Amino acid sequence: MDEKPNKPNTVRCDTQKCYIRFNGIVQPFSMGKLVIDFVLKEFEVNTNTNPWQVYEVKMKPLTPQEMGDKGNEIYLTVQNITSDISFTGTWMGKIYTVNLTPATKCEINHVDYYESQCLSQIKQGMCLEVKVQQDPATATSLTAVKIETEDDNKCVK
């Protein structure tokens, strides 16, 4: 909508529903999905309710080009090393196979490794942030662009 062009894109919620206000063109993805980047540092809170209620959050719809550059990040709990270039892990109740390439950047405990050297550092139960180009909602075999160790609380058990 161009109804209020100087207002930011926002999500407003009441106790029943949330409403999204877009100011400008929104470009959906080929599969009809819309990807939104929420600006979590910019929100409005109603302090008159108990508990307090967030009722407005600023956001930006991402274009397919922006998502391609950004990639998808998931937090996996490592299950097994399955080959010299892949491992399995779980995220949000789903099992993924993650494949490494010579171009995969791997940072384990703040030390950089590549491909097989990376896999020798990965252990069962480890929490990893994995950046991939595929959409984890539709693919279970993923090619890692970057792997980095994370605190266990980032991984959903």
% of the chain exceeding 90 in pLDDT: 32
The length of the chain in residues reads 157
34 with 16: CB under 8 angstroms?
no
Q: Which residue has tokens 């540092």? A: 41
Question: CA 8 to CA 113: how far, in whole Å?
Answer: 42
Per the model's pLDDT, the better-predicted residue between 134 and 58 turns out to be: 134
Question: CA 14 to CA 12: how far, in whole Å?
Answer: 7
pLDDT tens column, 40-96 = 677 778 888 888 877 777 777 776 666 655 568 899 999 999 988 999 999 988 999
30 with 64: CB under 8 angstroms?
yes
CB-based contacts of 16-25 (< 8 A; 24+ apart in sequence):
20/59, 22/61
What is residue 31's predicted lDDT score, i.e. its pLDDT? 55
Go through the domains of the chain in sequence order and give each one's CATH number: 10-69 (no CATH), 71-154 (2.40.50.140)
What is residue 67's predicted lDDT score, i.e. its pLDDT? 61
* DSSP summary character for residue 93: T
pLDDT at 1 over 60: no
Split at pLDDT 50, 70, 90, the class of 5 is: low
Task: Give the count of alpha carbons within 13 A of 47, CB side only.
Answer: 1
- Closest residue by Cα to residue 150 from 109, 122, 114, 111: 109
What is residue 49's predicted lDDT score, i.e. its pLDDT? 82
